[in-house]
Chain A
Amino acid sequence: MKSISGKTAIVGIGEVPTGHFPDRSFIKAAVDVCEMAITDAGIPKQDIDTVIPIGVVSNPLDNTNVICSWLVEELGLGKTAKSNFQVMSGGSSSANSLKVASALVAAGLSKAVLVVHCDRMGTGLDLSAAISMFSKASINQEYEMPYGFSQLALAGFLQQRYMYETGTTERQIASVVESLRKWAALNPNAMLRKPKTADEILQSKMISSPVRKKMMNILADGAAAFIVTSSEYARDLTDTPAYVLGIGSRCTSFTVTAQPHFDCWQPAVDGAYHMAGIGPGDIDVAEIYDAFPTFILISMELLGLCEKGKAGKFVEDGNTSPGGRLPVSTNGAMMAQGHTGAGGGMAILVEAARQIMGKAGERQVQNANIAIETASGGIGMDFHVGVLGKEGQ
């Protein structure tokens, strides 16, 4: 297969603060992040010929409207846009959109693609509706829903087995949250910016064992956008493109019971490294999709950033925190930045680009030449790995 490595780049990003903003309308946040990304890229807006709006979960009407070119009209792209369509795969919509956008650009079908996410998971639906949704969405109705399963229980399953197999302690898992909170404290767009120690996290209420309250993400309103174009055009636009060096993906199953083991995701990792022509030792910063802390540890091991079973100790020793040897999830990830539905992966992807572009402000990782980012959707139905870097083709 012909590789597109280094042939496309992210040239502009936009993001508004994540949190509870009952007075911030859907369309304002969506338009704001698009405008920010266009300005950041310095791209004439008529060059954006494709818009990919990621699925809106909190309000089906908003979703229908963005599918039907709402943003094309709001941004005045009506005379120049060729396509407006959705790429929807839950939390991995970001990764799949990056893949589709890069392929369109590399194939010459698009000059520049705008990928945008906006959702109001924090205030757009009430708490009981949200709990109800996450106990039904992507859960098997024939054989699993009758038992009271939920995505939170999934986190309990994962953590329990991971601790059993690796000997990772609850404190080490809590230290993942501690590390994320330290990053969030440096991120003006994050929701939970107050530091929390591992001990404080361990004192919080048990929710679905061994997951405690402070190990849970919080649903939030958020929006982010990025623009992908060819590497050639990227160099004309900006001195700081984030080149797309590698993409790897694997889909596994609908139900968690059908997943043999996380090792089945290894080809996604290997594919991304292979395409980028690099290995784990080349990674300067890792932006890892979470939702729950164990997911970060499992992903770090899949990515080869730690030996199997050693990620918890690595995090507990401070290696992933600000100033650490391998910064991980420098925006605070969903655990601290907030969970915005299908756009959860967007903030993580945008943060990876931000680090490569050198635009991460107080949390900028020095010499961030290569970033790796991950995303997953549903009940772990898939796993996607992207590699971004400062040097393209």
Chain B
Amino acid sequence: MSEYNKPLPLVTELSKHFYDGCKQGELLYQKCDDCGQIVFYPKELCPACMGRRLSWRKSNGKGKIYTFTVTYDAAPPEFATDVPYALALIDVDEGFRMMSNIVECDFDKLRCEMPVEVVFDQITPDIALPKFRPSEPDEQ
């Protein structure tokens, strides 16, 4: 594997658990055992009821693009040689939104509400970044 020069996720207690899941091919999110709130990005406290009993669940990895952008220029310096690349906010089926890249697709065909599914990009031995690709064959 060639050297990876882009920013790596900041690893905290919570994000380590999330990225450990990614390494196993699982997209994890939290649910509050007290009030049932879906919690993402992972948090210490439930933002709805302030409860601390947050348990981890496994997402089916499917969702829809809420919005997206394709960056052609003025990217963060570490991404300058990657342009063009697609960024999106994805509404995941279980009821949370996350940011990611859209890969394995024709950028001209990207649209809001497009169905996508997670794929894991093993960027370093320790970190697999969840990314998304179109999930319907005619859109790939």
Residues of A within 8 A of B (CB): 128, 131-132, 135-136, 140-150, 152-153, 155-158, 160-161, 164, 205-211, 213, 216, 255-258
Contact = CB atoms under 8 A, between A and B. Distances in A.
A94 to B, nearest CB: 26
B69 A143 contact: no
Contacts of A132: 76-77
Given A148-B79, A164-B112, 15 more contacts: A131-B74, A131-B76, A135-B77, A143-B41, A148-B71, A153-B69, A157-B67, A160-B68, A205-B72, A206-B73, A207-B71, A207-B73, A208-B71, A210-B69, A257-B40
Residue among B40, B76, B97, B129 facing the most chain A CB atoms (10 A cut-off): B76
B69 A156 contact: yes
Contacts, number: 123
Contact of B41 (A209, A211, A216, A257): A257
A158 B87 CA distance: 12
Given A141-B9, A161-B112, A128 B77 contact: yes
A258 B66 CA distance: 13
A161 B67 CA distance: 5
Contacts of B45: none
Contacts of A157: 67-69, 87, 89
Nearest to A128: B77
A213 B73 CA distance: 9
Contacts of A161: 66-67, 112
A144 B85 CA distance: 14
Contacts of B11: 142
Contacts of A145: 7, 9-10
B101 interface: yes
Interface of B: 6-12, 14-15, 18, 40-41, 66-79, 82, 85, 87, 89, 97-101, 111-113, 123, 129
A156 B77 CA distance: 18
6 contacts: A148-B76, A160-B67, A207-B74, A209-B69, A209-B70, A256-B99
Contacts of A207: 71-74
Given A142-B10, A257-B99, A135 B76 contact: yes
A208 B6 contact: no
Given A211-B69, A255-B41, A146 B77 contact: no
A150 B98 CA distance: 15
Contacts of A128: 77
B69 A206 contact: no
Contacts of B67: 157-158, 160-161, 164
Contacts of A131: 74, 76-77
List of 4 A-B pairs having minimum Cβ-Cβ separation, nearest first: A156-B69, A135-B76, A148-B79, A161-B67
B69 A257 contact: no
Given A156-B71, A257-B97, A143 B15 contact: yes
Contacts of B72: 205-209
A148 B85 contact: yes
A136 B89 CA distance: 18
A128 B77 CA distance: 7
B76 A143 contact: no
Nearest to A132: B77
A147 B112 CA distance: 19
Contact of A143 (B6, B68, B74, B99): B99
A164 to B, nearest CB: 4
Contacts of A140: 41
A276 B133 CA distance: 49
Contacts of A149: 76, 87, 99
Residue among A140, A142, A145, A255 facing the most chain B CB atoms (10 A cut-off): A142
A154 to B, nearest CB: 8
